Structure 1
Amino acid sequence: MFSGSIPALVTPFAADGAIDAAAYRALIDWQIAEGSSALVPCGTTGEAATLSAEEHFGAVRVCVDQVAGRVPVIAGAGSNDTRVAADNLRRARQAGADAALMVPPYYNRPSQEGIFRHFAALAEQTELPIVLYNVPARTVTDILPATLARIVTAFPEIFVAVKDASGAIARVSQHRASCGDRFVQLSGNDDMALAFNAMGGRGCISVSANVAPRLCADLQAACAAGDYAAALALQDRLFPLHDALFSDASPGPVKYALSRVRAGFPTGIRLPMTWPSVESQRMVDAALAHAGLA
């Protein structure tokens, strides 16, 4: 259902702090024109944690409207409260999203049994396909391979993919063995996307694709075609950017990078996130030059 380069979209904020819908629509059109194969509004990079529910699903509606069926829309919808997560799934479906991106409960630190029951409860309340998002560095909760297999086996029509940001590359093979080839694995780390695909992944939900959508799409296309020499050349070109975009708290660096490659792109960011440091900006500048983007 999903493959290729899938940007985890930033959310543009106007000078008054409101979501800049015009800038968002323009960003969406550019992403599609540059070869992105799906879009993720209101994920971590989209500053979902600082959006009200009305803003969050309003942005999803804007994204769905602007996409107009050209690519799938995977709405960020996770919560550490199972009831809120279920309501988010309902809102995402009402907004027209094709799927939802769902983290396991953060902060609560549930057991593996609690993680399974959380997702089982959601599956019983929705028909919207779910992309599991495993990002232990942020949630302090790890969906272990045995638990992921249990979730997918119990509800194969709901849990169709994983965005794996665990950093444990061997899990691609573990998940292939337990969940089968039909289950889609997407890298959650740009710097590991090439190796992830070589082991059986089918794409990347990407921060860098916000800034370099064509290069990221070309890398994914090269992997899909089995041209790993071309993919490696693109990896080398993009790697400094992957690194620089996390040289300060995300999404500060990626918003700075977008202001460099797209004239007039809004520079708003919501506390507690801040504009990147001067040192981070210099790293981004150098990376953009290395990639031939600025």
Structure 2
Amino acid sequence: MFRGSIPALVTPFRDEAFDESAYRDFVEWQISEGSHGLVPCGTTGESATLPVDEHYRVIEVCVEQAAGRVPVIAGCGSNDTASAIRSMKAAKERGADAALIVLPYYNRPNQEGLVAHFTALAEACDLPIVVYNVPGRTVTDIKPETLGRIAKLPTVVAIKDASGDLPRVTAHRRLCGTDFVQLSGNDDMTLGFMAMGGVGCISVTANVAPRLCADFQNACLGGDWQTALALQDKLYPLHAALFSDASPGPVKYALSRVRPEMPSELRLPMTPPSEASRKAVDAALAHAGLV
């Protein structure tokens, strides 16, 4: 259902407001460069600082601009089940193809709480669900056995796995079935993730290097591991540099180098990346042939 290079899109701000024109141009560029799908309002899209109305507008603009050419997986997660349900319903009304649901953060539900959370979401809205496991941010970690239970819900179709635990790809295949969509949430680990049975990546790096990331994914999906390895070597310094300071500061800076018309403004409490981070990004962009 979902596969390939799927950028977790940054949200451009200008004078503290959502820059709709820049976002439409950005979505168009992503599609023209070969991205296989789009994720508005994820972590990289600074969803934590988007008021509800603005959050829904960002999803709406992304869907309008994509115009059915690639699937749109809208960030809808919350640590409040009722809020996540409202966001899913709003995303469905605006034409999103699926909802990206991060595990509830801060309140740290146990495994039974996770089952109850996703069951309530699936019962309240029939929008397909991509489970987002990123314990480095949420502290909560969904265990493979729990995911196996949740995957039996008819609308839970995929996982974005940013656990950093590669053997889980095989565990998930065993527990969720080989048709369950596994998407990497870590650019730097995606080559191994794909070799073990993954089918794509919800990517930060694809914001900046969509063509290279799409080519990498196409090579993996086609079994051309030699080409995939060469592209991994080309992209690896960029994967690292984009997390050399608090994200999405480095990726917004990188975008301003690749697409000068794209604003690099962040919303507090996020601040611009350090000089050391900017130098790392500059070197990585040069290594990848992007500047």
Which position in structure 2 is the counterpart of 1:28?
A: 27
Question: Runs of at least 4 residues of structure 1 off by over 2 A?
Answer: none
Equivalent residue letter for 1:7: P
Which position in structure 1 is the counterpart of 2:37?
A: 38
Which position in structure 2 is the counterpart of 1:103?
A: 102
Q: Give the deviation of 1:265 after TM superposition.
A: 1.1
Q: Which secondary structure state, in structure 2, belongs to the residue aligned with residue 160 of structure 1?
A: strand
Aligned residues: 291
5 Å-filtered alignment, 1:202-221, equals 202-221=199-218
Which position in structure 2 is the counterpart of 1:150?
A: 149
Q: Which secondary structure state, in structure 2, belongs to the residue aligned with residue 124 of structure 1?
A: helix
CA distance in 2, matches of 1:37, 1:193: 15
CA distance in 2, matches of 1:49, 1:247: 20
CA distance in 2, matches of 1:217, 1:267: 23
In the alignment, is residue 247 of structure 1 matched against residue 222 of structure 2? no
Structure 2 residue corresponding to 1:268, chosen from 246, 256, 265: 265
Q: Percent identity?
A: 67
Structure 2 residue corresponding to 1:286, chosen from 267, 276, 283: 283
Measured against aligned partners, the alpha-carbon deviations of 1:34-88 in whole angstroms (never above 9, x if no partner) come to: 0000000000000000000000010000000001110000000000001111111
Which position in structure 2 is the counterpart of 1:2?
A: 2
CA distance in 2, matches of 1:83, 1:263: 40
Which position in structure 2 is the counterpart of 1:57?
A: 56
Which position in structure 1 is the counterpart of 2:11?
A: 11
Which position in structure 1 is the counterpart of 2:193?
A: 196
Which position in structure 1 is the counterpart of 2:117?
A: 118
Structure 2: give runs of 5+ residues left out of the alignment. Answer: none
In the superposition, the TM-score normalised over structure 1's length comes to 0.98
Q: Give the deviation of 1:264 after TM superposition.
A: 1.9
Structure 1: give runs of 5+ residues left out of the alignment. Answer: none
Measured against aligned partners, the alpha-carbon deviations of 1:92-124 in whole angstroms (never above 9, x if no partner) come to: 111110000001110001110011101111111
Q: Which secondary structure state, in structure 2, belongs to the residue aligned with residue 275 of structure 1?
A: coil
In the alignment, is residue 238 of structure 1 matched against residue 238 of structure 2? no
Equivalent residue letter for 1:126: C
Q: Give the deviation of 1:128 after TM superposition.
A: 0.2
Measured against aligned partners, the alpha-carbon deviations of 1:121-166 in whole angstroms (never above 9, x if no partner) come to: 111101100000000000000010000001012x1x2010000000
Equivalent residue letter for 1:105: P
Aligned-residue CA RMSD (Å): 0.5
CA distance in 1, matches of 2:30, 2:76: 21
Q: Give the deviation of 1:181 after TM superposition.
A: 1.1
Measured against aligned partners, the alpha-carbon deviations of 1:8-33 in whole angstroms (never above 9, x if no partner) come to: 0000001x210000000000000000
